[in-house]
Amino acid sequence: MTMNLCNMKNLANNKLSKFGQLLNLISWLLGGSILLVILLVGYFTGIFNRTNAIPITETTENKPYKPEKTVWKLISMDAVVHEPDPELVKYGRELIANTAYYLGPKGKVAQQTNGMNCQNCHLDAGSRVWGNNYGAVASTYPKFRERSGTKESIVKRVNDCMERSLNGRGLDSTSREMRAIVSYIKFIGQCVPKDTIPNGTGIWKLKFMNRAADPTKGQVAYEQKCVSCHGKNGEGVKSPDGIVYTYPPLWGQHSYNIGAGLFRLSRLAGYIKTNMPFGATYEKPQLSDEEAWDIAAYVNSRPRPTKDLSKDWPKISGKPIDHPFGPYSDNFSEKQHKFGPFKPIDEFKKAEKKKQEALKNKTQQIKS
Ligand code: HEC
Ligand code: HEC
């Protein structure tokens, strides 16, 4: 059944009649010539030479995004009728889109989160390309994660965001709410083959700058491009009913805590590059890479809730290069791990890894 859903488009095409095929051919030819004219005009007038077009990244760290490569495509919500329990999946989507309404400080099911919605950070209920979507969750979980040093289920990962991004308490794994969220996440990821991470899922990986990100420059850009919605003190704007945010907070007591994914500079900078100011997309970003890094540095220098992180990263060398709290398995400062420049740390880590692999090969050779 799953296969059929995922191949629905192909099936529909196969069923076209001879007449339909002819019509199709004519429209393709027409469409093609119009496109050609547009392209030629565009080329000669230079409108394609926009400077803020998506960069083609070349480091191995960044999975290169090529515009012609197909990006992850969401399975239509219409397909939910084929699920064993469509209502559960729909409830899951609803919880992700309007979390505060159910679980926020005035939640009607329980009161255990900070008032934000999952969707504030996982746009379009976790379905937008490069909008921190859930496209690769069903295909990669359960998976080993260095932060906890354990193999994590989807339930554990969702509760991580409950406790960190929503600065609250996790849901019971048997609760209807958790079952709904998990079934929705599995539903939207069902067409992705096991262990694959399609282009466009998760957060955009921004190229490193040669310098450290600069909160002072970031503040100037923040006041021009973000303040109108998120406020001078990053406090956001509540809707008139006072239950959900129209514009969510970026720092302060109602924002994500220091253990959240967005507290890592690369995550926040990548997220805002392709999604903010609201209305920007990966195809039409509105911030330069430098602005994204600098604004992220400013936002993550502001006060926010703390969290006991003493159990995180049981293996110190497993910390990502932009984890802002020591101890580290290298000699770079906490400040450099927080703001960069990240290239030297990245290169050091890669060299270390190579050394260790070489050592492993050597010991294997000696043994055999
Ligand atoms: C403040 C922002 C924020 C909020 C709110 C938030 N998340 Fe997240 N979430 C993140 C970030 C950042 C990541 C890590 C993404 C990465 O590193 O690529 C993440 C990761 C995840 C992942 C794993 C994705 C993957 O591909 O491995 C799941 C599942 C998830 N969140 C579910 C939820 C759910 C469900 C909620 C609401 C209960 C929620 N999140 C609320 C920011 C947020
Ligand atoms: C036009 C209003 C608007 C502007 C301007 C804007 N945002 Fe947002 N921002 C939003 C909305 C709305 C959301 C939540 C989206 C949703 O729930 O679908 C959001 C969500 C976010 C989030 C994730 C949720 C959170 O609160 O942590 C971050 C981070 C963010 N914006 C940063 C920025 C930054 C940085 C800028 C400036 C470059 C910016 N935004 C400009 C409206 C805006």
Percent over 90 (pLDDT), the chain? 75
Residue 233 Cα distances to 271, 283, 285, 298, 309, angstroms: 20, 30, 24, 12, 26
Atom number of ligand 2 nearest to Cα 296:
35
Does residue 142 have a cis peptide bond before it, meaning omega lies within 30 degrees of 0?
yes
In the chain, what are the domain boundaries?
77-188, 215-351
Average pLDDT, the chain: 87
Secondary-structure class of domain 77-188 per CATH: mainly alpha
pLDDT tens-digit series, residues 76-92: 899 999 999 999 999 99
How many whole angstroms from 35 Cα to the centroid of ligand 1?
A: 39
* 255 contacts 121 by C-beta, under 8 angstroms: no
60, pLDDT greater than 60: no
User: What is the H or E stretch that residue 155 is in?
Assistant: helix 154-163
68 confidence band (pLDDT: 50, 70, 90): very low
pLDDT band at 311 (very low <50, low <70, confident <90, very high): very high
pLDDT of residue 113: 98
Q: Which ligand is nearest to the CA of 117?
A: 1
3-state secondary structure of 26: helix
* Predicted local confidence at residue 367, as pLDDT: 75
**pLDDT at position 72, please?**
77
Mean of pLDDT values over 281-290: 96
Q: With 0-12 CB in 10 A as exposed, 13-18 as middle and 19+ as buried, what is 247? A: middle
Q: Per DSSP, what are the bridge partners of residue 55? A: none
Would the pLDDT of 46 be above 70? no
Nearest atom of ligand 1 to the alpha carbon of 135: 26
Cα(325) to centroid of ligand 1, in Å?
A: 20
Q: Is 159 helix (H, G, I), strand (E, B) or coil?
A: helix
Helix (H, G, I), strand (E, B) or coil at 144: strand
The protein residue whose alpha carbon is closest to atom 43 in ligand 2 is 278
- CATH number of this structure's domain 215-351, picked from the four choices 3.40.50.620, 1.25.40.10, 3.20.20.140, 1.10.760.10: 1.10.760.10
Same fold, 77-188 and 215-351: yes
Ligand 2, atom 17, lies closest to the CA of 120
Protein residue with its CA nearest to atom 14 in ligand 2: 120
pLDDT digits 0-9 by tens, 140-171: 999 999 999 999 999 999 999 999 999 999 99
Name the nearest CA neighbour of 99 among 78, 114, 87: 114
